[in-house]
Structure 1
């Protein structure tokens, strides 16, 4: 019964599309009915109070947009280095938009390779108290199970099969004090991170299995986020060798001086917010994708107080491209990077909104 209910909005879309195709004058009336349904019968959404953990690790049916986002850095026993990403986005924003976009990627630093997979699931996740049980793809090729800082991830990406266990070693970093943060351009967000998760497991490459160890970063964000997604951003998850973690972001466009924020989590796990005037990010160069023709920043100088860091991509091409054959998915750059300067380290950087007009037929 639940499966039928989850698919029913898409059946309604199909029926209404057929009606409009056969009887075009019905279009305004169908749009009017959709607006009335949205205003009067769809769930009422809005601010839900501060982040409460581990309850808010679970799927929240009150939120239009939400995601569970893992990135990390892994090393094999023989010294090979890899980055990984696993992300589940969910959208429940209108009468017909109830789906998940699921992506996974592997950065093979030594091999200078980047591989990714994407799936669209036309259903929302089941709600699991105090945690999540997420899956996508044939034979559940991408899964994330856990909550409260203890997670297990599985992903099949091309020749790479990742199976890892993650354990948070620090308290969650509650950005904006755990409260809703309104954006100056509209919408709002709740946002928290687990900035240092000890990670162990295996990575198989063409059938050969390697033990891996490393650290991972988990981001959880939910709210009215369509405006922010449209605006685009630079986001940095920096892990320093002295066991500090730094989150920085700024939005693209005219509001960058306002919508710019960050945090530092020290070695003891205490997180301190960074205001816009307390850090600076300067772009050092650019890289143009041969696949989409889109141009992204590539290399940054990050200044925080008296400390200066240089951030460089570990592999130039770490662009994730939605499959435009059947789904208009996002195109963005997200990749493993190295840190040098005041303290060495590693990072993940996300560049969203730089590829709004990819070249056709990529």
Structure 2
């Protein structure tokens, strides 16, 4: 088993099985805001090609991408800078990814609990305009329902600062928006029955994965990657025309680079936020046969220090399975994570807050995946702990 010293859930290396959320029994829809009919006709072949790219969020096929020069970087790559690198870059692939948990009280005094996901992907090829895809999902834990939507557009007049701006980022996919500066972020997205408007504030410095936020692959390219592992969240969630004030915690990933990707594989990715003010990011990467080929264990301390543990320190036990009635795919559903290392000794049980948190995003990124809110109970260093997190499952089949 190989352990990569990187902090990314290999959303960056493998073809993602991403999709768009579905209200239990409802299908997500794709929309094309902001495009012009004539340009759409010209760019449609590119979008079909991009739907076949083997990077997270895009289904993997044997289709050929526009030519990419596979030359090794001749000069050292610059380090990550804040706030310059919060905005978009002129690289092949980039995304901004948020997941989190929200609590509120309805007008009648009933407590409400939700999970949410909001992500924007940016794809650049040759001199063509960037293509954006976005997924928005709400796990309505109180109702026991999962809802999602998806969008995709070509942005003819996109501004890409490429590390030259100190104004942060501002992304618009139709009327869905993500913006932020120095860990003060704002999200807004809507779909039938749910509209989210929240502000997020980072409680810790960003975690630069691999120590400096840069992972190089030689001829395979490179990727930058950082996470904000604990963000306090407040704002409004309009739930079936009722405005609910919500607060909670979120996790944010930002990744960009010129990298090639592998096909016919998948991963299990876990983000964990414990009530000890510590976080963990774990993932297992599988090849086309289902064999685990790499394992990552990152532990973020209360002081935002990032500790990488060896693969042998982790044992993952799948507790149950769930079969999607929509796709027929059988997913793991419930896990026990045992970690045994001088840095951390822990045993955690993760339980999905809803079984059905599968996203079918065939209309935006051409694939499907499970990404959902989980509750966490267990012990760390012999003391009881609890928490919450998100799990992403890709590469599973019928």
TM-score, with length taken from structure 1: 0.80
Matches within 5 A, 1:245-260: 245-253=279-287, 259-260=294-295
Partner of 2:296: 261
Query: Are 1:340 and 2:377 an aligned pair?
Result: yes
State the Cα distance separating 1:199 from its structure 2 match.
Answer: 0.6
Cα distance in 2 for residues equivalent to 1:12 and 1:165: 35
Which of 286, 298, 317 aligns to 1:282? It is 317
Say if 1:83 and 1:336, in contact at 8 Å, map to a contact too: yes
Partner of 1:117: 149
Cα distance in 2 for residues equivalent to 1:265 and 1:181: 19
Say which one has the larger Rg. 1
Partner of 2:131: 99
Partner of 2:382: none
Q: Deviations over 1:177-207 (max 9, x none)?
A: 1243246995543221000111111111121
Partner of 1:57: 86
- How many pairs does the alignment contain? 327
Query: Are 1:178 and 2:207 an aligned pair?
Result: no
Closer, same or farther: CA 158–225 of 1 in aligned 2, 3 Å: farther
Q: Structure 1 stretches of 5 or more lacking a match?
A: 18-30
State the Cα distance separating 1:88 from its structure 2 match.
Answer: 0.3
Partner of 1:126: 159
Say if 1:88 and 1:102, in contact at 8 Å, map to a contact too: yes
Find the residue that maps to 1:111 and give its secondary structure: coil
State the Cα distance separating 1:225 from its structure 2 match.
Answer: 4.9
Say if 1:65 and 1:226, in contact at 8 Å, map to a contact too: no
Find the residue that maps to 2:210 and give its secondary structure: helix
Cα distance in 2 for residues equivalent to 1:112 and 1:48: 47
Q: In terms of mean alpha carbon deviation, does 151-160 or 124-133 score higher?
A: 124-133
Higher relative contact order (CA 8 A, sep 6+): 2
> Cα RMSD over matched residues?
3.3
Q: Structure 2 stretches of 5 or more lacking a match?
A: 1-33, 49-62, 380-384
State the Cα distance separating 1:222 from its structure 2 match.
Answer: 1.7
State the Cα distance separating 1:238 from its structure 2 match.
Answer: 0.4
State the Cα distance separating 1:39 from its structure 2 match.
Answer: 5.4
Matches within 5 A, 1:291-306: 291-305=326-340, 306=345
Closer, same or farther: CA 303–46 of 1 in aligned 2, 3 Å: farther
Bigger helix share = 1
Closer, same or farther: CA 247–4 of 1 in aligned 2, 3 Å: closer
Matches within 5 A, 1:11-22: 11=42
State the Cα distance separating 1:290 from its structure 2 match.
Answer: 0.5
TM-score, with length taken from structure 2: 0.74
